[in-house]
Amino acid sequence: MSRESILALLRAHEGTFVSGEEISGGLSRTAVWKAVDALRRDGYVIEARTGLGYRLVSSPDALTELEIRRFLGQTAVVGRELRCFDEIDSTNTYAKQIALSGAADGTVVVANCQTAGRGRMDRSFQSPRDKGVYLSVLLRPELPPDRLLSVTALAGVAVCRTVERVCGVCPGLKWPNDPVLGKKKLCGILTELALEGETGRVQSLVLGIGINVLQTRKDFPPEVAEMATSLAMELGRPVSRPALAAALIQELDQLYADLKAGDLSAYLSAYRRDCVNLGRTVQLIGPEGRETVTAVDIDQDFGLVVRDADGAEKTVRSGEVSVRGMYGYVE
């Protein structure tokens, strides 16, 4: 019997003992003991009692394939292949590398810790061990690049849906793609696209998502501590990281199907409903300095429609400017 099947058997009898004979399936006692020992080293708490056998007491809160698949079920494309790391430099960097060597459409890369997590505009993304969900998905959409411009905003909606399903609270979205809770940033999204120079064909798209799950205030570096939060900080209780990762993979699988079908109206209405900037005064921070405007709408391509003091409207696109509240990250 493999580690996986022993674990499945213990889970099927959750809370009760399973005899060594039943577990062994013909294996020697030593082989069973070794498999149980390996599971314990992976963080499973398994009680052994003479005459009774083994009982699964608890499972680790770890982003391993065993734990994520426990919650995942079948998906169409995203997550059919999962590559799980305890530690990696950056899941996005790794996903871009395996894209070059032919990795499959929908491959998901997950890590418990990133030593060189990357954010937008060449910033770093702190990814402390066992605190967040650090995940990248490699997509190979056969779509023109202009159909993919909104993918980063769509991913923001997918994160909000994930958090709502798993935690029962729906984050807001700070334009263009930052899920926020309690007016603070809960998650970062970094989308990287590789195009063929001659034809403009999309070779690969890597969507990287980092959700703050179990961090406390001291886990954030001082420069972001004021504007960052985690699910545990907002909810006052821990959240299962593998359950959250699995739900995110399911939402990304749905998003990919909807993107290919061009069926994005539900995302646009969810975005408009959840965008925390709409109706508020915001500062646009760009190469030419700061401008104070009112955010009035989200257009069909997820651009932010703003109105200045003279009533003139314009639409700003992701990448052109960053948006800040008047007094803080959001408001």
Pairing of strands 82-85, 108-111: parallel
Write down the residue that tokens 């062994």 correspond to: 24
DSSP H helices, the chain, are: 3-12, 20-24, 29-41, 65-72, 91-100, 151-167, 222-225, 231-235, 241-261, 265-274
Of 54, 134, 175, 267, the residue at the interface with ligand BTN (CB under 6 A) is 134
> Rounded distance, CA 20 to CA 3, Å?
14
Of 91, 150, 191, 215, the residue at the interface with ligand BTN (CB under 6 A) is 91
Q: Which residue is nearest to ligand BTN (CB)?
A: 188
Contacting ligand BTN within 189-228 (CB under 6 A):
189-190, 208-210
Residue 32 sits in the site that holds ligand BTN (CB under 6 A):
no
Nearest-approach distance from CB 327 to ligand BTN, in angstroms: 21
Instruction: Using the rule CB under 6 A, give the single segment among 141-149, 183-191, 222-230, 286-294 that binds ligand BTN.
Output: 183-191
Q: Give 327's contacts (C-beta < 8 A, 6+ positions apart).
A: none
Write down the residue that tokens 């023109």 correspond to: 144
Residue 277 sits in the site that holds ligand BTN (CB under 6 A):
no
Residue 153 sits in the site that holds ligand BTN (CB under 6 A):
no
Residue 176 sits in the site that holds ligand BTN (CB under 6 A):
no
- Check if the beta carbon of residue 326 is closer than 8 Å to that of residue 282: yes
Residue 136 sits in the site that holds ligand BTN (CB under 6 A):
yes
The DSSP annotation for 192-240 comes to: EEEE-TTT--EEEEEEEEEEE-S--GGGS-HHHHTTB--HHHHHSS---
Which lies closer to ligand BTN via its Cβ, residue 53 or residue 176? 176
Residue 125 sits in the site that holds ligand BTN (CB under 6 A):
yes
Of 83, 118, 161, 241, the residue at the interface with ligand BTN (CB under 6 A) is 118
Residue 119 sits in the site that holds ligand BTN (CB under 6 A):
yes
Residue 171 sits in the site that holds ligand BTN (CB under 6 A):
no
Of 59, 92, 191, 250, the residue at the interface with ligand BTN (CB under 6 A) is 92
> Rounded distance, CA 189 to CA 209, Å?
5
Nearest-approach distance from CB 172 to ligand BTN, in angstroms: 15
Of 11, 34, 40, 123, the residue at the interface with ligand BTN (CB under 6 A) is 123
Which lies closer to ligand BTN via its Cβ, residue 60 or residue 119? 119
Q: Give 222's contacts (C-beta < 8 A, 6+ positions apart).
A: none
Nearest-approach distance from CB 264 to ligand BTN, in angstroms: 22
Residue 280 sits in the site that holds ligand BTN (CB under 6 A):
no
Q: How many helices (H) and strands (E) does the chain have?
A: 10, 15
How would you label 167-181 residue by residue, b for 16+ Cβ within 10 Å and e otherwise? Answer: beebbbbbbbbbbbb
Which residues are at the interface with ligand BTN (CB under 6 A)?
90-92, 114, 117-120, 123, 125, 134-136, 188-190, 208-210
